[in-house]
């Protein structure tokens, strides 16, 4: 068998695998992705991406393309309960948060875009950045040692070959063969229900009129399920459940039966329905006990299976990839110690457990079965996606402030290490800019009007450690730096005009000096923080 090598091998070419390849390539890490299917998903699957996820896409240069692709869904804002699309509306309310009411938190907005429309954009961007994506290629087996992973793959021509890599990222879904081969167990409530997604073609225009739905809950004598439709009003997906304990199985969903269910959900016998495909899946709350196993790393559904209520699964998986990519990049180029990779589990495992639980709580809320205790434990979407505080990991905690809760209202956070660096609108030479536009590649040191000496300290730290580090001074007038026209930066980042805040490549605060540090001690303070973050 032929043998090739790369730095990172990615198993799985769906949403999270493609995101991993794109983010790695963004950090100039050579990577190979293998996916057994011939192309990207033909099923809509995930449809909503919260503003925090849009921020991550922004960092990789694909947010604008996603916004353009999502433009046709701008009116698809309502979640409705209906007898059928042509029938009575039982209830109607907002499904996902992420509109103008969040303008003080982020410049990004909620993206309503089916997964089958987003994946090609991720693929194109990853390939543009240099990722090697091999569709129609299956991962057959792998072994690992202290130096890396050797994987046997089978290409579309049926020929087997070996790919050697420093690390293997398993993004191969909830039934992950990589996770199973490792023997990593999962914890949680387990499988909650069984479902099948029916992708179909139909003319929605006749029954929808001017109405547009992001998600529709349908219930009548023939079918109970969830339906989505695209912006062309010609394609949709109907999700229905089945119960093996009652003798029901996937074999029951013949083309004729699927078409019958779709027509009942639409509420019209005259609409022609063409069944495109069926996709079985389980609703489950399951989280792998470990995300890091030697040189193998679990991400997305391979790491955590989250009930889709709330729409957290895809968003959490993309965030996994964003967290992991910069860490692998710095470890592989020798800037960081291998311990930096271990912080991926320290940071993302608690988030996986929490988010999976939130998905189950949302399920209880929407089914009307939530107890008072469950209602009290259910957080809003912005808290879940933007208010996270890592309990431990690649940052220098402020011990004097005490431990933060795992999640908080993002408006109550002020750049504490281990949390998302806040959004502040800035200007550069009169042109609008935001703090978020400064992040995404290397480390960034932000300082205020009295922080001129931090520039020299950053240069010294960059030289000593060989770490990518930019420094920006933020002042009221923009002299020798960036302008803060709203005067918000110091309060938002919890620091003084002479303090400094170090932000990681993924936009998470790594270290903070609330007040001024004597100039002769700044280099030591900054290099010490970077060494701790980089596991050196």
Cα–Cα distance between 107 and 90 in angstroms, integer? 34
For 81-93, the pLDDT digits (tens) are 788 888 777 666 5
Question: Residue 77's pLDDT band (boundaries 50, 70, 90)?
Answer: low
Mean pLDDT along residues 372-376: 92
**If you search the block for the tokens 């081969």, which residue do you land on?**
181
Q: Do domains 2-187+285-382 and 387-533 have the same CATH topology?
A: no
Q: Residues 421, 428: contact at Cβ < 8 Å?
A: no
pLDDT at 91: 63
pLDDT at 432: 93
Instruction: Write down the domain spans for the chain.
Output: 2-187+285-382, 387-533
Q: What is the CB neighbour count within 10 angstroms for residue 108?
A: 24
For 108-155, the pLDDT digits (tens) are 999 989 899 999 999 999 999 999 999 999 999 999 999 999 999 999
State the CATH architecture for 387-533. Answer: 3-Layer(aba) Sandwich (3.40)
Under CATH, what is the fold of the domain 2-187+285-382? Answer: FAD/NAD(P)-binding domain (3.50.50)
Cα–Cα distance between 284 and 279 in angstroms, integer? 16
Q: What proportions of the chain, in percent to the nearest 5, are helix, strand and coil? A: 35, 30, 35
In the structure encoding, which two tokens stand for residue 161, read together?
A: 């070959």
pLDDT at 471: 96
Cα–Cα distance between 396 and 243 in angstroms, integer? 49
Q: Which of 25-34, 106-115, 395-404 has the highest mean pLDDT?
A: 25-34
């Amino acid at each position: 068998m032929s043998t090739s090598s790369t730095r990172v091998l990615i198993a799985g070419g769906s949403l999270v695998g493609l995101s991993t390849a794109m983010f790695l390539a963004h950090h100039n890490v050579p990577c190979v992705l293998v996916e057994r299917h011939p192309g990207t998903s033909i099923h809509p699957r995930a449809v909503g991406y919260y503003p925090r996820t849009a921020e991550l896409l922004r960092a990789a240069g694909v947010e604008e393309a996603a916004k353009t692709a999502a433009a046709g869904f701008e009116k698809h804002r309502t979640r409705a309960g209906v007898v059928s699309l042509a029938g009575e509306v039982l209830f109607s309310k907002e499904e996902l948060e992420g509109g103008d009411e969040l303008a003080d938190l982020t410049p990004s907005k909620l993206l309503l875009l089916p997964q089958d429309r987003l994946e090609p954009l991720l693929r194109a961007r990853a390939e543009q950045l240099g990722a090697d994506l091999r569709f129609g290629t299956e991962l057959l087996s792998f072994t690992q040692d202290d130096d890396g992973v050797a994987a046997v793959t089978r290409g579309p021509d049926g020929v087997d070959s070996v790919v050697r890599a420093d690390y293997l990222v398993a993004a191969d879904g909830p039934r992950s063969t990589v996770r199973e081969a490792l023997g990593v167990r999962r914890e949680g409530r387990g499988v909650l229900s069984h479902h099948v997604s029916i992708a179909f073609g139909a003319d929605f225009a006749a029954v929808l009129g001017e109405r547009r739905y992001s998600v529709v809950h349908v219930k009548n004598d023939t079918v109970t399920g969830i339906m989505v439709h695209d912006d062309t009003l010609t394609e949709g997906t109907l999700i229905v459940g089945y119960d093996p304990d009652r003798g029901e199985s996937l074999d029951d969903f013949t083309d004729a039966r699927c078409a019958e269910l779709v027509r009942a959900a639409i509420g019209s016998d005259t609409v022609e329905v063409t069944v495109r495909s069926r996709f079985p899946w389980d609703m489950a709350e399951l989280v792998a006990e470990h995300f890091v196993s030697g040189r193998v790393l679990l991400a997305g559904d391979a790491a955590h299976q989250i009930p889709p209520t709330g729409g957290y699964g895809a968003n959490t998986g993309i965030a996994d990839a964003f967290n992991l990519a910069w860490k692998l990049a710095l470890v592989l180029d020798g800037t960081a110690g291998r311990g930096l990779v271990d912080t991926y589990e320290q940071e993302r495992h608690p988030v996986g457990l929490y988010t999976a639980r939130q998905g189950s709580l949302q399920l209880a809320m929407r089914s009307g079965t939530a107890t008072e205790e469950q209602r009290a434990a259910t957080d809003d979407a912005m808290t879940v996606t933007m208010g996270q505080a890592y309990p431990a990991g690649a940052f220098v905690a402020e011990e004097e402030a005490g431990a933060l809760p795992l999640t908080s209202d993002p408006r109550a956070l002020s750049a504490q290490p281990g949390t998302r660096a806040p959004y502040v609108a800035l200007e550069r030479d009169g042109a609008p800019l935001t703090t978020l536009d400064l992040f995404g590649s290397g480390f960034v040191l932000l300082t205020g009007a009295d922080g001129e000496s931090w520039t020299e300290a950053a240069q010294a730290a960059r030289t000593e450690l060989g770490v990518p580090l930019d420094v920006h001074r933020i002042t009221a007038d923009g002299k020798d730096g960036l302008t803060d026209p709203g005067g918000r930066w110091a309060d938002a980042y919890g620091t003084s005009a002479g303090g400094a805040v170090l932000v990681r490549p993924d936009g998470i605060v790594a270290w903070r000096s609330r007040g001024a540090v004597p100039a002769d001690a700044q280099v030591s303070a900054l290099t010490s923080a970077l060494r701790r973050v980089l596991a050196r």
